[in-house]
Amino acid sequence: MRPARASATRFSIIAAVAVTAAVDLARADRAVSAEADSGHPDHHSAVIGLKAAAGGQFGDGMRRFGRGVGIFAEKPIISGWLDLEVVAIAAEVGDEQIYPIDVLAKKPFDLHPSISGYLGVGTSMTLEVSDEQSVWRPGLAAAAGVYVWLDRHWGFDAEVDYNYLLDDGGMHELNVAVGPVLRF
């Protein structure tokens, strides 16, 4: 099996597990959420979404640009104060396939009844696959973005994401992503 095809298969499995986990969390939390609703209009038990991303890697005199697609699942830990998000993206950057997986603690806030903003920080693990090798790179992640809600369940996400990869003298990743979201 070619490295790109094997990597795409791994990403598909990771994405399926993330969606299944988000749906299971939403079902398990539905009864508790109904009772614990604080009256906040954006109270939800889970958010899942897709992302189209574009960005690049910079560092050590190198600049590479690329694009990709991803999936994410988000779960409130403390309603209105702290959300936990897991993001997996498959991207092609230069001659490599890049698969960052970020885990973020996010602080949500309301900008308007139909617009919710957030700031997040966390960790990142990036799998870089080339013809010669596959390497896991640990890092730190930060994100800022907004959800624009079309109704109580459907909306769009727009985000700027920064990752600092800790090995090889430090590599910077900067990405912009947009996509549809569904909240439960």
Q: pLDDT tens, 53-111? A: 999 989 888 899 999 999 999 999 998 899 999 999 999 998 899 999 999 999 999 99
Model confidence pLDDT, tens digit, residues 104-125: 999 999 999 999 999 999 999 9
Contacts by residues 135-138 (CB-CB < 8 Å, ≥ 24 positions apart): 137/165, 137/166, 137/167, 137/168, 137/171, 138/165, 138/166, 138/167
Distance, in Å, from the CA atom of 102 to the CA atom of 155, rounded to the nearest integer, reads 22
Mean pLDDT, the chain, whole residue set:
85
User: Residue 104 is inside which H or E element, if any?
Assistant: strand 96-112
- CATH number of this structure's domain 3-183: 2.40.160.20
31 pLDDT band, cuts 50/70/90, is very low
